[in-house]
């Protein structure tokens, strides 16, 4: 099954006219910009398609508003660092009165092979500290998650925390555009 078909079969159709919040998990700062842990930010950059980002001190993050399929959609990059992402997501949801069912969180997943994408709702964090923070702050796991596989170090000698904070290999970089295109198309077709 192709990536588009796989994602489309899991994402609920939500063209109900209410505002959506799409969150990308990552770490702020240039030193983290092209690391595997920031794949959630890459998804949002692809969705933003040149939209203007602005820092929102009220809820500690960067926000862009885009129109997708005629609907206002908020794109949000928490600036709280990964382990405190939930604080920023909760504040943004409360400020904009976004219901839990209208939230999608995109993040990296080392348990999935590089480039594999899974969509789920209502499951545990699987050890991902950013997702764990979101679940704790929202008091629920009932939001849509797009898990983007980053895999693990081929030789197994690199600790996981170093690997996720490491930069993409040249081979991975060459495939990122196609992966982002598939993820973005599915989000546009099914979530918004």
Structure tokens at 114: 């590089």
C-beta separation of 47 from 184 below 8 A: yes
Catalytic residues: 37
Ramachandran angles phi, psi of 20, nearest 5°:
-110, 155
Structure tokens at 34: 């092209």
Neighbours of 70 (CB within 10 A): 8
Contacts of 35 (CB under 8 A, 6+ apart): 27, 164, 165, 166, 167, 168
Dihedral sign of CA atoms 31, 34, 38, 41 in order: positive
> Between the CA atoms of 88, 94, 98 and 103, what dihedral angle is there, to the nearest 10 degrees?
20
Residue in the structure block whose two tokens are 């990964």: 82
**Taking the CA atoms of the chain, what radius of gyration do you get in angstroms?**
15
């Amino acid at each position: 099954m192709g990536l588009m078909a796989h994602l489309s079969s899991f994402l609920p159709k939500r063209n109900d006219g209410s505002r959506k919040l799409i969150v990308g998990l990552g770490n702020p700062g240039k030193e983290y910009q092209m690391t595997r842990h920031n794949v959630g930010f890459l998804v949002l950059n692809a969705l933003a398609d040149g939209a203007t980002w602005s820092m929102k001190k009220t809820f500690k993050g960067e926000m862009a508003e885009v129109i997708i399929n005629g609907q206002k959609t908020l794109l949000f990059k928490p600036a709280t660092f990964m382990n405190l992402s939930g604080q920023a997501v909760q504040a943004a949801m409360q400020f904009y009165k976004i219901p839990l069912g209208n939230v999608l969180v995109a993040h990296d997943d080392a348990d999935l092979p590089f480039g594999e994408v899974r969509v789920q709702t209502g499951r545990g964090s699987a050890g991902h500290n950013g997702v764990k923070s979101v679940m704790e702050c929202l008091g629920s796991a009932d939001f849509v998650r797009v898990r983007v596989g980053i895999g693990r170090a081929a030789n197994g000698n690199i600790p996981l925390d170093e690997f996720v904070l490491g930069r993409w290999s040249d081979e991975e970089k060459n495939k990122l555009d196609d992966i982002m295109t598939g993820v973005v198309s599915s989000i546009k077709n099914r979530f918004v």
